[in-house]
Each structure stands twice: as structure tokens, then as C-alpha cells.
Chain A
Amino acid sequence: MPRRRARGRSLLAWAAGGLLLTACNGPIESRSEEGSTVGGAPAYGDTFIQASIGDIGGLIPSLTSDQSSHEVGGLIYDGLVKLDRDLNHAPSMAESWTYSRDCLELTFKLRRDVKWHDGRPFTAEDVVFTYQTMINPKTPAPFKEGFLLVKEAQALDPYTVRVTYDKPYARAIETWGTYILPKHRLQAFAEAGTLRESPQNSHPVGTGPYRFREWKPGEKVVLVASPDYYEGRPYLSRVVYRVIPSQATIFLELKARGVDYVSSLTGIQYARQTEYPAFRKAFHKFRYPGSGYTFLGFNLKDPRFADLRVRQAFAHAINRQELIDGVRLGLAREATGPIRPGTWAYTADVKRYPYDPQKAKALLAEAGWEDRDGDGLVEDREGKPFTLTIRTNQGNDERKKIAELVQQRLKEIGIQADIQLIEWAAFIKEFVKPRRFEVVVLGLGTGTDPDQFVVWHSSQRGPDQMNRTGYANAEVDHLLEQGRASCVQKDRARYYHRIQQILAEELPMIFLYTGDALPVVAARIHGVSPAPAGILYNFTEWFVPKPAQRYTSG
């Protein structure tokens, strides 16, 4: 159940580089007494306790798709590059990298002072091994596409890796932000296809800022600071992930100061239940736009929704501000398209659809839907009324409320909508994949790269693929291909701006809103500084001044 809910909230877990970053540019608000929490003398020590609603799947995060595994894995393992506070790629285990002029060759210079937690040196061999493991068909890694596009990865010398591509791939650098695996521990298992059974999956050795200490399944994962981390020992000595499968309990533990960090409060918790002096003293609350959007998706195979005027009528009939206020207590921003606002690929210059039921009715009438028998519902020329079912997954309260509000607004323009909530697995398998739906309420994540080939390209309409609405537009196809194949950001920005304009015009789905991320961090922890990348990007620099340290042991 908890797994389900976590998944439902953001459809995808994007593992990009070291930590899972969940934020973006745009207004950043910190609701703490002093704004951001810099100050006091940095000191080593203390324990950072984090609640996680689900247990980790395993300790080789490349094999998992759940968020907890990637959060824990992000501290144990490092990539060649990482994302900095502004979501740009920055050096991590690679001290520098260069593209060849034709964008086909990418050469990494590796740091020479990086060691695995067991003391072995980290070398180019490990990078090549990671690549070979990821492309090995025996490796059950859910995210391997970036590696499959690589033509060749070779170690030129122990500290230089050259990667070549068949054609330019815009997300090449992002690929190398993923966890680099230790060759000396995994080679035999990778070749045999038994990675899941390897000791590394229960007692991992990485190169990241924290070392693995213990995993008690269903209870907790404990990590300790790596004293010889190449970027300097992290200040917080221990990190504990406690598995608490109930949201309500996590919140109570937070109030009782039993946990130090929650990645996102709900709207009601943020706006009402934490607004009392003791809480404000013990915690700092943050607010910035999250990394995903919620949408109302049409099945474009349905002849009614194949008509653009009908889709536009829906867009005018829905009151987004009402959704934001009613469902998120105002803690969200209107979404205008699928790209993260505030990033270089985003444009606000797209067609918008203000709430306007009259216009919606006019558009419906133009498409042949009018109230012909005076019952308040619109009918087509044969007198068949416009009825539909809004479907979404069970256990996601936000989506359920959206469905209810949309239902009411559709009624205003004469459309009779039912709501059906279906258990996640059944919903995806029986309705979404075979495209047996009329409209659905779902969410999608926005990665750090704007490439969304798999969501919008017409070649991606198969049952196991991600173009769920069945959208096909030759110009968008072409732009997606170009955007993916260029390594010049200025050109790419142009392609993605155009894609957003087309999508806003054609509305294969109605982009509803981007919810705000609402993290809380214990006030004794200093160094938290919200940025476009969220707050976790500089986790190793967080500290608790000596007098304020709470846990001395460990």
C-alpha cells in the first residue's frame, strides 16, 4: 500500500546523478525564522534521521526503480558527474570532460584520489565495467537506455575514459551521472546475470560520501560518513533511514522530533498542522516547485477526443485555480506544458486556456455537441449524449479530488462524467496500457533534461510504451529527434520551445498543475540552502553546531 502511494504521487523516479533532486527554478520560499539556515560553526557529528515510507528494494540502485533505493544509493555511490545547485552538470568522480567537435566522443578525466570504501582505488576499469554491466542483457536494470546508445566505452589509461556514440546524443553526460559499480566486487555476478544475489546487493561498497553500515529489512538502513571521502568528510556522521509505512505515523514522529527530515509534507500539513510555535522552532519548512506535473489525459483514439475543439472545450471548462486551491491548498503552480518551469528549455509563451464555460460550450457546439432535448446535457446530431468516465488510480487523494472537481465543471458545459478509481496495477494493465480509457488523471515527472521523446513521439504508441494518449504530430516528431541529437543547448532550447507551443495548441492532455515540494528539516541542522535543485544537492555540507548536536553516539 505505501509503495503504491509513493509511486502514485510521482509516476517516475528520475535517478539523475548522485542525489535524487526534486525541484527546479522559480520562486523559492523558505518558511523558517531566518530564511535559509546558514550560520554557526561547522562541526562533525550527530545523526540525521529520515523517514521513508517504503523499504529499499536493494543496495545496487541501478537494479531498482523505487525512490528509497535511489536516495540511499545516492549517498553510497557516486557518478562521474553530479548536478549542482542550478541543475547543471558538475564534476564528481570525473574532474573534467570534453566533447569532440562532432559531439560523438566524450572523454572523461577521472580523479586520482577516489577510493572504494574497501580501500581499493577507483579507476577507469570500474567505469567501463559499469557500462558493460548496464548493457548486458542479463542485467535487470530498468533504466539502461542511455547506455544502450553508447557505441563504445574504453579506458585509455587508468584515469581516462572515452565514450563514443553513433550519433550525437543530447543526454550523454546525464547517463554518466549514474552509480558507478565496483568491478572487483561484481564482475563474476554481472557475467553470470546474478547481480541481485551478490553480496554487494546487501553489503555495498561504493565511492560516495557515506558508507553502508547495516540494513534491517523493513526497519532501517544506517549509513556512516566516509572519513576519506574525496570531497571532504561529510559533517553529519550518521544517516538513518527509518522505514515507517504510514504517512500519519511519519508526521507524528516528525512532531515528536523523532525524525529530522521529511521530503514533502502534504498541503494541509504544511499550511495548517505545522503552524504552531513549537514546530516552527524545531523545524524549517521549505517550499519550491516540484519536479512533475499532474494532467488530464485524453485517449486520442476516441473519435470525440480526436476533435481538437472538444479538447479545447475541456481546457476552458476546467478551472485550474480552483484545482490548485481545492486540492493543494494553493501549494502548486499552473502547468503550461511538460517542461520544468525555470529551466532553459521552458517557455511561458504558449497558448493558455482560461476558465471560460461559455467559450467551452461554444467550442462544443462547433464540434456538433449541443443540448438538443433541453435536459442540460449536450448531445450529438443523433441525440447521443456526451458521457464519459474519468479514471484514476486508487489511493491518491489528490487525483480523486481532481476527478471530482473536473466532473462538476464538465457538468456545467453539459457533459455527464462518472469517476472510477482503480487499484494501481489493474489501472495500468487493464486501462492505460491497452488504451481502454476516455480520460485519465495521472502525473508525470520532469527530468533534469527536457528530452521527452518517449512521451510524445509517434513511434512510442505501443502498449508498453509511454505515449499513452496516442499523440502523433509529424512536426513534434521531427523536433524531438532533433532535440535529442544535438549537443548545442541554444538549438535545443529552440526545439523544445516550439514543442511546448504545439502541445499547448493541440492539447493531447490538459496540463493541470505542478505541485510544490514542501520539505521540512530539523532546525538544528545548518547549511540547508534552497536552490533550483532543491535542498539535498549539498547534503554533505549540512552540519549541526557542536552545542546543538543531539545524538552523540556513533
Chain B
Amino acid sequence: MALFALRRLLLSVPLLIGITFVSYVVISLAPGGPLDFLTPEDPNASPEVKERLIKEFGLDQPIHVQYWQWLKRAVRLDFGRSFLPDGRPVLAKIGERLPVTLFLNLVELAIIVGVAVPIGVLSATRQHSLYDKVTTVFVFVGFATPDFWLALLLMILFGVQLGWLPISGLRSLNWEYLSFWQQQWDFFAHLVLPIVVATFGGLAGFSRYMRQSMLEVVRQDYVQTARAKGLSERVVISKHALRNALLPVVTILALALPGLIGGSVIIESIFAIPGMGQLMVQSVFSRDYPVVMGNLVIVATLTLVANLVADISYALVDPRIRFGGRRGRR
């Protein structure tokens, strides 16, 4: 097991380098460069400034040299400074946005799992029932509804018409002046709409996987056996079927990890939440290579780690995989 993990870990190093190299080349080849944004389409902008910045940023070098320079610094975890006029270190820019996105996404994921698993299980055990049909319609409506549209509708209803919830942002402007509990409530109120919108869209996938996986499991012989033993249906489902049905879902869950820090651009933009999604999109649009690459390294690393975790957790959850290697155990 440990050997397996180690081998996978070592293999991911060249993979990570490959990913960053391809990304570096692709972003550099995209039309326009950082300078098109620093020195805009303006009659009064001076071209010399541009020349100077190109030199300063090292953009006059061939791509492979640029990449090598970047890689040398990146292995020491120095991702450089943003090309934007704020000139701040990349890690600081990412660091201040990561917590919000991570927090939001963890809450979302928890809610999605918490809601989708029962939906999936129930609609599998009552396949073709009215409940099954209703939830199927419900989750697919959620899946098909554009985020931004739902978000705007909810904002109009709860923010403008009813005035119950704040429309955007994370905190009220007078947040510092609120008492502790008011602050918590204020924060919570700001989170309601974004989380509802984000989870609504995410329910479909998960509950479908759960349903599918459950449907397969309840047809297995061991479930029949459990029933034949005279166990109650509740125990059969929750103890014997569910645990096995969760296996593929765990994989999907692990693969959702990198998404946790990616953040949703649409949700973040519409609700004015300063998270990773916005940072990534803004840095791509302004061709802020250091920030783009910094972001990318984190996401790529997490994806690789998530794959590893998925495999390992598979082994942990499924005794057949865990003990399969040991001889004579059966």
C-alpha cells in the first residue's frame, strides 16, 4: 500500500511539470499579452513604458527560457509578483482569496452530499415510484437551470422585493460595528443565496450517481442473502447495501477536491464574492501570467493528490482491495 502510494507520488512529479509546461506555452500563445492591459488603447500612453516592462517581466525571452526561469523559482515556491500595477506577490493574492472559496465550497459539498445521498438512496429503493419521478424531475431542473439566471431571480425576490437577504458581498459594510452574534448572522445571511444557487445545480450529478450505484447494489446476491436472513429492510439498505453503494461515490467525491479551490466564476461574480474563481478569470483576461501559473500549479497539484486520495480511500473503504493483496486470507 505504502509502496503503491509512493510510486504514484513520484510519478506525479513529471506529470506536474508537463502540465505546467503545456499551460505556460498555451497562455503565452494566447493573443495579446499583459502589456496590452497595462498600457491600454490610449493616445497618451507611451510606448517606451511598454518596452521597459517587457524587459522587466522577461517577456522578451523565448518561451522555453521564460518557462525555465519560472520553473526554477517555482520549485522554491516563489511564484513571483503579479504583472498588474499592484505588483503584489502571487502567493499573497491567492492566499487572501483561498479561505473564502474553500469555505464556501466545503459547505456546498457537505450540503450536496447530505442531500444527494438520501435522495439517491430513496429513489433507488423506490424505483419508478412517484417519489423517484418527482426527485428526478427536481434534480434535473436544478441541473438545467443556469446559475446566473436562478441567482438573479432569487436576488430580485429575496433581496429587492422582500428585502430579507443581502444581495451581494460577504459582509455588510457596517460589519465591524456589529456585535459578535450579529456578525455571525450577517455572514450567514450573505451566504444563503450563493450556497442555495450553487448546491441546487450540483445536486443532480451526485444524486444520480448515488441512485445508479444503489440500484446496482440492491440487485446483488448478498443483499438478497441479507433479506433472506430476515433482516429488516432498513438494516439491509443502510448496513449492507449503502456501504457498498458508496464506493464509486467516494471516488467522485475525491475528484471533486480540486474543484473546491477552483471556485465558481459565475457565482462569485454575480454575488461579488472575492474568491479564487474571479482571481483566475481576471488573471487570464489580463494575461497576468504569474498569477495564472500560480493558480494552475495549485489546482494541478490538488488534482493529482485527489486522484491519489481517491485510490487510497477506495482501498480503505473496500476491504476486498485492502486485503486483496494478502495471500491466503480467504
Contact = CB atoms under 8 A, between A and B. Distances in A.
A253 B168 CA distance: 8
Given A57-B84, A142-B49, A553-B177, 6 more contacts: A252-B156, A258-B166, A426-B31, A428-B36, A464-B50, A554-B174
Interface residues of A, number: 71
A140 B53 CA distance: 7
B40 interface: yes
Contacts of B97: 217-218
Contacts of B43: 12, 452-455, 466
A58 interface: yes
B228 interface: no
A218 B278 contact: yes
Contact of B167 (A144, A218, A256, A425): A256
B41 A249 contact: no
Interface string A154-176: 00000000000000000000000
Interface in B47-62: 47-50, 52-53, 56
A430 interface: yes
Interface in A31-68: 47, 49, 55-60, 63-65
A12 B42 contact: yes
A429 B170 CA distance: 38
Nearest to A56: B86
A197 interface: yes
Contact of B47 (A63, A218, A252, A464): A464
A421 interface: no
Nearest to B275: A218
Contacts of B173: 47, 49, 220, 240, 242, 551
B32 A252 contact: no
Nearest to B93: A217
Given A65-B39, A428-B41, A466-B43, A249 B285 contact: no
A219 B270 CA distance: 13
B233 interface: no
Interface of B: 30-33, 36-50, 52-53, 56, 81, 84-88, 93, 96-97, 148, 152, 155-156, 159-160, 163, 166-170, 173-174, 176-177, 268-272, 274-275, 278-279, 281-282, 285-287
A548 interface: no
A335 B319 CA distance: 77
Given A12-B41, A248-B270, A258-B166, A425 B86 contact: no
Interface of A: 1-4, 7, 11-14, 47, 49, 55-60, 63-65, 69, 137-138, 140-146, 148, 193, 196-197, 201-202, 216-220, 240, 242-246, 248-249, 252-253, 255-256, 258, 423-426, 428-430, 452-455, 464-466, 551, 553-554
Given A249-B155, A252-B155, A202 B86 contact: yes
A253 B173 CA distance: 13
Contacts of B40: 7, 11-13, 65, 142
A64 B49 CA distance: 12
Contacts of B36: 425, 428-429
